[in-house]
Amino acid sequence: VNSFRPVAWAAVVIALSSDAAYVGAMRWFCSSPLRKSFDVPMNIQYAVNRFNGLYMEVLGVAVIVPNAYHAAGFAHPGCVVVGEVMVALIAIMLKSGIYDTEPVTPDRHAIRQSQWHAVTFMGLVPTTLLSISLIGGASAILIPQAGSLGVGSSTPFAQRALCGAASLTWFALACTKMLHLACSEGLHRVAIRLMVVGGAASLVPLAVDFGDLGSLAWVTLCGGIVVILQQVKNAVGQRRERGSSYDQGALI
């Protein structure tokens, strides 16, 4: 298994960098007519629907399902129930954060801005999916530990994985948000800053041992604050845009 890891990591790096390498090679080494002859416009509706569907599948399969434990099978069932509720809240908040990242119209999507925007967007998708999966995997370690040992349980590895994954998720969503074209530049910057602050705040348990349930609660709290402020920001945007054609979804 250990000898296979370098090969696996090399395959991951090649897969993630292939789009950027292709675009770079075409821009740096090929003439404009040749580049245009190979340039196939991306179907933005397919990409958006496909990736949104993937996000929802990963939230269900990697976050919800692995953490659906039977509380009665543990010494501390109350801890298991509390942990499961927090994981469900995290999934809801991530769903809200993902949809708030999307632009109002396809014309404002990163794919429509430039090839480099599109390549960066495509590279951020697997990063976001990986971080969401890590949240589910870390939670699947923390909840049984809390159920077996009680509120005072502490599993440093899983706590670090959870906090790092939550931080990476919010940072990746913030970077994705930056790639889209804003309707309101001011509110757009507010949304990005909220995600960055939420990602940074999620790292606090790395410095202070909150325990297993405490770390899960902290990540839930940080995500909840980000999502609530996002909704406030969206309400402000809707009030500003009332009467215009942009009356659905996140307004920035």
- List, for residues 102-115, the tens digit of each pLDDT value: 776 778 888 888 87
Where is 28: in which H helix or E strand?
helix 5-29
Tens digit of each residue's pLDDT (9 = 90 or more) over 230-246: 888 878 777 776 655 44
DSSP string, 215-245: HHHHHHHHHHHHHHHHHHHHHHHHHHHTTSS
Contacts 24+ apart (CB under 8 A), 152-156: 152/211, 153/79, 153/211, 153/212, 153/213, 154/209, 154/211, 154/212, 155/212, 156/209
- Alpha carbon distance 55, 108 (integer Å): 20
For residue 2, what pLDDT band results from cuts at 50, 70 and 90?
low
Q: pTM here?
A: 0.83
- Band (40; pLDDT cuts 50, 70, 90): low
Work out the pLDDT band at 250, boundaries 50, 70, 90: very low
